Amino acid sequence: MSEPGRHEWPLFEVFVRAKRGLNHVHVGSLRAADHDMALHHARDLYTRRNEGVSIWVVRSDDVVASAPAEKESFFEPSGDKIYRHPTHYTIPGSVPHI
């Protein structure tokens, strides 16, 4: 809980691209006064063990997230569409090179 009158820094989400990784992965969050400070804090908090080659920070406020209440309508309709997976299809023996 913040003390009365104490100004709290905004929250940022941190994404780090690992040496062997192709994409930035969400690694956690931190507080900072602005984007510049957030980037430096991210370096100090999340790349101490030689993990990263690139960092993104984004204000948590700016992330638009899907609502848990919409989970059913958002995600369940894809649950039975087995034909969207390549493994659904049987490859005829006469088709070569697959």
Partner 1 sequence: MPEEPGSAYDALTDHEDDARWAYGTGFTDPLAGVSSAVPGGADREALTTYCLMLGDDALIMSHRLQEWVTRAPEIEDELALANIALDLLGQARLLLGRAAEVEDAGRDEDSLAYGREAGEFRNVCLAEPADADFAHLMARLLAFATWRLALLDRLSASADPVLAAIAAKGVKEVTYHRDYAARWVVRLGDGTDLSHQRMQAAMTAVATQTGELFAVHPVEQAMAAAGFGVDPAQLRPEFATVWSQVLDAATLEAPADPAVGVGEGRDGRHTAALSGILDELQSVARSTPGGVW
Q: What stretches of the chain show up as alpha helix (H) in DSSP? A: 35-46, 71-75
Per-residue x/- mask for partner 1, residues 21 to 40, rule CB under 8 A? x--------xxxx--xx--x
- Which stretch, 16-24, 66-74, 75-83, 86-94, contacts partner 1 (CB under 8 A)? 16-24
Q: Name which position in 1, 3, 23, 49 contacts partner 1 (CB under 8 A).
A: 49
Q: Maximum CA pair distance of the chain?
A: 75
Which residue from 74, 72, 30 is spatially nearest to 55, judged by alpha carbons? 30
Between 6 and 84, CB nearer to partner 1: 6
Minimum Å gap between C-beta 68 and partner 1 is 29
- Contact, 41 vs 32, CB < 8 A? yes
Minimum Å gap between C-beta 62 and partner 1 is 19
- Contact, 43 vs 37, CB < 8 A? no
Which residue from 1, 96, 15 is spatially nearest to 60, judged by alpha carbons? 15
Between 25 and 63, CB nearer to partner 1: 25
Please give the residue ranges that form the binding site for partner 1 (CB under 8 A). Answer: 9, 18-21, 30-33, 36-37, 40-41, 44-45, 48-51
